A = this chain, B = another copy of it.
Amino acid sequence: MMRTRPLKVALLGCGVVGSEVTRIMTTHADDLAARIGAPVELAGIAVRRPDKVREGVPAELITTDATALVKRGDIDVVIEVIGGIEPARTLITTAFEHGASVVSANKALVAADGAALHAAAEAKGADLYYEAAVAGAIPLVRPLRESLAGDKVNRVLGIVNGTTNFILDKMDSTGAGYSEALDEATALGYAEADPTADVEGFDAAAKAAILAGIAFHTRVTIDDVHREGLTEVTAADIASAKRMGCTVKLLAICERAADGASVTARVHPAMIPLTHPLASVREAYNAVFIEADAAGQLMFYGPGAGGSPTASAVLGDLVAVCRNKLSGTTGPGESAYTRLPVSPMGAVITRYHISLDVADKPGVLAQVATIFAEHGVSIDTVRQQGKDGEASLVIVTHRAADAALSSTVVALRELDTVRGVASIMRVEGE
């Protein structure tokens, strides 16, 4: 049954992921051929720096002309592991025009422009697969798009950035502050020299957009995702979470509104109960928790980044795309038929943990409680601590709209007796 003419693969990018893809394609060629039904052959590898030493990467395949590679006309599948918007977007589009299917690990591009890329693929009867774009080796795109295709997903709650989970886990386990934990993450290679994309939540927001689109069969781009990083999270916040039986995680949260007519997608630090399965996700691991009508609660856990795990996801897609090529079909493409609008952050309904620095005198709590009531935010618990004329109020609310909480905070800041709003953190996963 095995076809002998090999399928030809072009690899764009040969960094940590690309060289691991090359290694596995070489060392596991027989297994890949058996699983696909035909051999696969690396036909070319486009890089920016051809002179860099790349162990185990055949020098004769290296080219700096990525455009010429994807235009060759005999390429069956293009694997794109360059990252970023350009030149990746143009190369992928050119690949489709020349008859190739594409496997990409590019979360930024898919989150920014997934609909156009899917349309370009569909116009040419090609596949666009990107399991590696969300949480590395953890199967998420395929389970959401295929395994849960007969179900209705209501919520996706994910730890989808390993750097920030490592930082928060350190803060939680050692009591360290943010800067100290970031330094350790950098020293151990979990954080990049410029950690902005991770700690400001851009990376997680791209993944949230992709997950929300697939989960709710609609279109969500990174611009639709409300984003807050973790740079403001303090050791005091972590300690406060512990007192509540919680820990702090940077979560990507995608929800269908209660009326089913809209969705929201957001990334921000949040307190979650220690009993929640996501609470025990340590170090740089990722995990995504999914709530669906019929399936109930599912969780997918694993390494969210790294050369080998990402290569595993890329190669799983490669096998699928090659099989589709051989049978002359394509896999499930974009499913965005619900066309559900994305509501702004103000429409999100959740709970809040708020720390206020207040004057230590009678009547302050009554004043504060009145402000909450006036804005329709119901208080669940209050803890009051005072010393030396200063006091703090730690308030946990019932579920309320984010817009109502925001206007409550504006009003609280105007009270003479409120010296400052020390922190506001959402409480999720209950």
Give the interface of A toward B (CB within 8 A).
Answer: 20, 24, 28, 31-32, 34-35, 131, 137-139, 142-143, 146-152, 217, 277, 280, 292-303, 306, 308-309, 311-320, 323, 327-330, 332, 335, 337-338
Contacts and interface: CB of A to CB of B under 8 A. Distances in A.
Contacts of A34: 217, 335, 337-338
B150 A24 contact: yes
Given A149-B35, A302-B299, A294 B320 contact: no
A151 B335 contact: no
A314 B316 CA distance: 23
A126 to B, nearest CB: 14
A255 B134 CA distance: 28
29 contacts: A35-B150, A35-B337, A131-B147, A137-B295, A139-B139, A139-B148, A142-B142, A142-B147, A143-B143, A146-B316, A148-B312, A150-B317, A151-B315, A280-B280, A293-B312, A294-B311, A294-B312, A294-B315, A295-B302, A295-B308, A295-B309, A295-B312, A295-B313, A296-B306, A296-B309, A297-B302, A298-B301, A300-B301, A301-B301
A261 to B, nearest CB: 15
Nearest to A289: B301
B151 A312 contact: yes
Contacts of A306: 296
Given A28-B152, A35-B217, A314-B150, A296 B292 contact: no
B312 A303 contact: no
Given A143-B143, A143-B147, 18 more contacts: A34-B335, A35-B337, A137-B151, A137-B292, A139-B139, A142-B146, A147-B313, A149-B320, A150-B312, A151-B315, A277-B280, A292-B312, A295-B313, A296-B306, A297-B302, A299-B302, A300-B300, A300-B301
A146 B20 contact: no
A104 to B, nearest CB: 15
The 8 closest A-B pairs by CB, nearest first: A150-B315, A139-B147, A137-B295, A149-B319, A294-B312, A298-B302, A295-B312, A299-B301
A151 B35 CA distance: 11
Contacts of A308: 293-296
A32 B237 CA distance: 44
Contacts of A280: 277, 280
B337 A332 contact: no
B137 A319 contact: no
Nearest to A332: B323
A294 B335 contact: no
A296 B302 contact: yes
Nearest to A311: B294
A204 B149 CA distance: 26
A80 B32 CA distance: 32
Contacts of A317: 150
A303 B35 CA distance: 30
Nearest to A323: B332
Nearest to A292: B312
B294 A20 contact: yes
Contacts of A294: 20, 24, 137, 308-309, 311-312, 315
Contacts of A150: 24, 28, 32, 35, 311-312, 314-319
Interface centre among A142, A295, A330 (most CB of B within 10 A): A295
A312 B131 CA distance: 22
